[in-house]
Amino acid sequence: MISILVALVVGCLFGIGLAFGGMLDPSKVVGFLDIFGAWDPSLAFVMIGGIGVNALGHFFLVKGKKPIFAKKFQLPENINIDRNLLVGSALFGIGWGLAGLCPGPVVASILLNPMSLLPFLGVMLVGLKIGSVLKSK
């Protein structure tokens, strides 16, 4: 039960972080990706802040211990640079550039703009399903 509550709080913190960071505004996201136009480098600072905190925590707290509410840390085990990783990431980037939306902000902005984001989320979930079925073949 407490672990469900933790997930809820983590989701809130994550979404508030996205909001502060400027990630919930697709025009700001595209402004960051538009390095050949009037470039807004703000979102690089989201990455610096996020990676800074998380990397410090990871290297000091995660190594060799157990998580509080689970038996072990579940880190990705695949270390191969394979075709799936490259093709998938390339397609994701095209979609991200087309609409300025990646999965976290889509979820976090649902209440801000449900008319366009609920259908977006629906299509994205269909895409996730298609992608995982294709990948497992």
Partner 1 sequence: MTINWQAFTPEMSFLGGMLIGIAALILMLTKGRVLGVSGILSGLISPASAFEFTWRLAFVAGTILAPILFYVLTGTMIEFTAVAQSWQLYGAALLVGIGTAYGSGCTSGHGICGISRLSVRSIIAVMTFMTTAVATVFIIRHLI
Question: Which backbone phi and psi does 22 adopt, to 5 degrees?
Answer: 95, 10
Report 34-93 residues binding partner 1 (CB under 8 A): 34-55, 57-58, 61-62, 66-76, 78-81, 84-93
- The CB-of-77 to partner 1 minimum distance in angstroms stands at 10
Q: Are 21 and 104 a contacting pair, CB within 8 Å?
A: no
- The CB-of-32 to partner 1 minimum distance in angstroms stands at 9
Report 91-130 residues binding partner 1 (CB under 8 A): 91-104, 106-113, 116, 119-130
Distance CA 135, CA 122 (A): 20
# residues contacting partner 1 (CB under 8 A): 116
- The CB-of-61 to partner 1 minimum distance in angstroms stands at 6
Binding mask 7-26 for partner 1 (x = CB under 8 A): xxxxxxxxxxxxxxxxxxxx
User: Which DSSP letter does residue 22 get?
Assistant: T
Single-letter code of the amino acid located at 1: M
Q: Are 73 and 67 a contacting pair, CB within 8 Å?
A: yes
